[in-house]
Amino acid sequence: MNDRHHNGIKTTLLFAAMWAILLAIGGVVANGTGSSMFIWLFAGIGLVTTFYSYWNSDKLAIRAMAARPVSEAEAPGYYAIVRELATAARQPMPRLYISPTAQPNAFATGRNPRNAAVCCTEGILRLLEPRELRGVLGHELMHVYNRDILTSSVSAAFAGLITSVAQFLMFFGGGRDRNANPLALIATALLAPIAASLIQLAISRTREFDADEDGAQLTGDPLALASALRKIERGAEARPLTPSQPLENVSHMMIANPFRGRGGLGRLFATHPPMGERIARLERMAGY
């Protein structure tokens, strides 16, 4: 079984696990209140907020990174690489942006290829050779072509809905169910959102692996992306960004974690898989 097929199955199973958590905690609330009205209310709110963030994903991400549109005259090499890759993929040319950030990083966003935007930081444009930058841009374009913005929006909606229902459960308790175990209710209310968040982050990490593999296939040069990731990891660790809510909302879109890295159990809460594992997979693609 190839890595891509394995990642697709894993994403499906992770969504199934999140759905099972939602059904379980929703059943507890419905049993306690005697009505499923609250589940539908939370679902409606989650649907509206998710649609807004999905529809405006490009604007929100670009604003968070204080990026500006860049012309072909200003960045001819940047344009040439993206145009070549978009043409090879038979997709329209996305809008290009540059963020005035010293940390080497990049992201692509947009609800579909016709509304896509690619953003590189000034740091990554200075750091990488053209071949390495081509590997990074192939990765980022595949996030758009694979509809990963939709995937991340849906997983965020699930996690948010589970959290909202769990908070209601904490507030409401057993409701009309006098036999409800208060300790079990508290445990469910606390653990369900944590489990949902872990699954959401696992989905994000899985999509990174797919973008690495598909981007390397698009460029035909997995070692270029592997070399770029080594440089980006060192550069991001040397210049970590300061966490803020806007940046945290878009950090999963970036090619590398923009904040200070986590070790040990902290990796469970990481938006990106370990860089060493990503590089090893790319080297295997190249026959190393």
- Greatest Cα pair distance in the chain: 71
Distance of alpha carbon 213 from the chain centroid = 16
Name, in order, each residue with C-beta under 8 angstroms of 13's C-beta and a sequence gap of 6 or more. Answer: none
Q: In 3D, which of 181, 174, 160, 158 has the Cα closest to residue 29?
A: 174
Task: Supply angle C-alpha 177, 25, 208, rounded to 5.
Answer: 170
H/E segment holding residue 259: none
Catalytic-role residue among 140, 208, 213, 233: 140
Q: Which residues fall within 8 angstroms of residue 284, CB to CB, at 6 or more apart? A: none
Active site includes 74? Answer: no
Nearest to 96 by CA among 88, 226, 81: 81
Q: Show the CA angle centred on residue 123, arms to residues 277 and 226, nearest 5°.
A: 25
Comparing C-alpha atoms, which of 227, 284, 191, 281 is closest to residue 273? Answer: 281
Please give the positions annotated as active site.
140
